[in-house]
Amino acid sequence: MSALTSGERSGEESRPALDTDLGWAIRMVSSAFRRVATESVASLPGGARAYLVLVALADGEPPSQLALAKAVSLDRTVMTYLLDDLEAHQLVTRRADPRDRRARQVLLTDTGRTRLAQVRGKLAAAEAELLADLDENDAHHLRTLLARVAQTAQNSPAAPAEVDC
């Protein structure tokens, strides 16, 4: 049985039951976010993929190129080309891993940190528009819950090998 709104039962125009149709809600939010996010990260070489990489590099120990590809769900060949572009724009640098000279660590440069901060500012403004109907507490809860669901999805054995950004 499909989830019907009271309007559908009375013959009015069909509308999804927003309180129960998770797939519809995720698709609508994802589409809207993709539009605003694409505009916000357009200045980065590699766009949304580059943003994922810069965010992953912003904190913690420099990962290997392979570990970074896995962390952001990008094919290692795609990662190599993306890092080439980011390195050409002086946003990242690569060096031999001191623990394993065969592996290459990826580091965020000062220029990369500055660009990441700029893009994060643009994204925060875009997110604020998207979440305008939520108060600060609801927006915080939404982000927290989505982050938990994203972690579950990323750790799922059925997780895709590469994200479509």
Domains and CATH numbers, the chain: 33-152 (1.10.10.10)
pLDDT in tens, 93-142: 999 988 888 889 999 999 999 999 999 999 999 999 899 999 999 999 99
Among 59, 49, 34, smallest CA distance to 127 is for 34
Which pLDDT does position 15 carry in this prediction?
59
Q: What is the reported pTM?
A: 0.73
The three-point CA angle 30-45-67 to 5° equals 75
One-letter amino acid of 139: A
Q: How far is 128 from 122, CA to CA, in rounded Å? A: 10
Q: Give me the phi and psi of 105, to 5 degrees please.
A: -85, 150
Contact (CB, 8 A) for 78 and 49: yes
pLDDT exceeds 90 at position 13:
no
Q: 119, 43 in Cβ contact below 8 A?
A: yes
Residue 18 confidence class, pLDDT cut points 50, 70, 90: low
DSSP string, 142-154: HHHHHHHHHHHHH
Q: How confident is the model at residue 21 (pLDDT cuts 50, 70, 90)?
A: confident
Q: What is the mean pLDDT of residues 153-159?
A: 72
- pLDDT classification of 11: cutoffs 50, 70, 90: very low
